[in-house]
Amino acid sequence: MTDKLEQLKKIFEEVSDLGSTAGLLGWDQQTYMPIGGGDARGQQLATIGKLAHQKATSEEVGKLLDELKQEFAGAESSSDDAAMIRVAARDYDKAVRVPPEFVAEQAIVTTKAYEAWAEARSKSDFSIFLPHLEKVVELVRKYISFFPPADHPYDTLLDDYEPGMKTADVQAIFDGLRTKQVELIKAIAARPQVNDKFLHKKYIESKVWDFSAEVTRKFGFDWSRGRMDKAPHPFESSFSVNDVRITNRFEPGNPLATLFSAMHESGHAMYEQGINPDYERTSLAHGTSLAIHESQSRMWENLVGRSLPFWEFFYPQLRKIFPSQLEGVGLKNFYKGINKVEPSLIRVNADEATYNLHIMLRLELEIALMEGSLAVKDLPAAWNARMQEYLGIVPPNDRLGVLQDVHWSSGLMGYFPTYTLGNLISAQLWEKIQADIPNVEEQIEAGNFAELLAWLRSNIHRHGAKFEPEVLVKRVTGSAITPEPYLRYLNKKYSEIYEL
């Protein structure tokens, strides 16, 4: 290792430590922090964020990166050091445009916005969140102004989560998906509806929680390097490959949503736990993009967790825990019930056939906010109008509508499209998995997930951010990101369930 590379690594180890500390404070804010600690937490996050930003964007870092880029210009694509320099240089080029004062201000504003969102959601009152969200949106627009003009202002935000992806690319993918998914939904609507009443009975929260934890253990989520806690919105946080945490919640009206959220978040967590330990505290020690991340969470939640082979193994166990709730409900009926297609209000609980419409709605609203064609105060009305247009239902209140997601309180605009992209990639990877592990469904039916997880570790997880998302997908599957495998998956699954 060259002296310059060693110097750069030492700097970024400290930047990584500061980032992990900020992440831990953010996790605590959403799990255990007393409600009165918000202002102090905002100041703490502002200080840490400013220090990390200053260290990461110093002249010394810029000089080292310039020299190292030249030194490693001809390096093989398999070189970890060359990849680390490439990712670090990309992050530096973006971060150096953003003033440290802005980073500190954004930390304070979003901390207060989160507290306001949590209160507004609990009271179903958007007006509580409104002034805070207006400040968040103002800062997001200001952030965009730090960068050279793009084809669309939303490109700058999208690139933070999905490097290289353009707004026009996403819109083209969504336009192609929307028509075909609406056709499928209409075909399903013409068939007799499946019965899922058993899913909405009273289930004991602690038993659902414990069963959910056991499923994640069976998947391969390492509880000696992770944990699951309660929060208003499920999420995953990684502070190290040896400290990866997930959160969950319990909804009395939809109790088994806890189980599917656990599967989803453990998919994220297993990705982070599987990154090459040698990448720890470097620019490669995280998933390469949010779409790749979502491909992992959506795969474990849906392609595995909502599959018939999965429930061949787990349903007898679930019936023993909840005999009265599942009395008279056979395996096939249970399987159909958890895959029922019906327009619903809450994104995270949406079925696979309608889920992407929830994402399209959010994408359009975010683009309108950035273009200035939609005012923040008009978001609830715009949200409800699109819900009516896309899904034929209107939220009865703000909690079940515009306030359901935590993302905007943190300024995470440009994030939502990655959920749909993740859906597409998950099916694309699944076709490759089925080719490489022909008996993968039989293994799942036996409760054996070891070979599946090992495949993901080898092909996706261990690489961290070493390969750009499009490169990684093509490297593994042989083609660029495409919606066709996902559409094949949906049509096959729901044709069988609804006898189309």
Give 489's Cβ-side CA count (13 Å radius): 24
Taking a C-beta distance cutoff of 8 angstroms, is the pair 308, 333 a contact? no
Measure CA of the first residue to CA of the last residue in the chain; give whole Å.
60
**Pairs from 148-155 (Cβ < 8 Å, separation ≥ 24):** 152/367, 153/370, 153/371, 154/366, 154/367, 154/370, 154/414
Give 67's Cβ-side CA count (13 Å radius): 13
Catalytic position from the list 162, 265, 301, 470: 265
Beta-bridge partner residues of 345: none
Taking a C-beta distance cutoff of 8 angstroms, is the pair 470, 169 a contact? no
Instruction: Tell me which residue has tokens 């949200």.
Output: 383
CA–CA distance, 361 with 382 (Å, rounded to integer): 10
Per DSSP, the three-state class of 482 is coil
Q: What share of the chain is helix, strand, coil (3-state, %, to 5)?
A: 65, 5, 30
Q: Which residues contact 40 (CB under 8 A, 6 or more apart)?
A: none
CA–CA distance, 228 with 263 (Å, rounded to integer): 11
**Pairs from 328-332 (Cβ < 8 Å, separation ≥ 24):** 329/198, 332/308
User: What DSSP designation does 193 have?
Assistant: P
Reported as type and span, the H/E element at residue 247 is strand 243-248
Q: Edge-to-edge strands of the sheet including 236-240?
A: 226-230, 243-248, 236-240
Taking a C-beta distance cutoff of 8 angstroms, is the pair 281, 16 a contact? yes
Instruction: Tell me which residue has tokens 């002249």.
Output: 59
Question: Is 265 one of the catalytic residues?
Answer: yes
Could you tell me which of 121, 139, 83, 496 has the C-alpha nearest to residue 346?
A: 121
Angle at 416 (CA atoms; ends 485, 187), nearest 5 degrees: 45
Could you tell me which of 415, 368, 417, 389 has the C-alpha nearest to residue 171?
A: 417
Q: Are strands 243-248 and 236-240 parallel, antiparallel or unpaired?
A: antiparallel
Taking a C-beta distance cutoff of 8 angstroms, is the pair 410, 111 a contact? no
Catalytic residues: 265
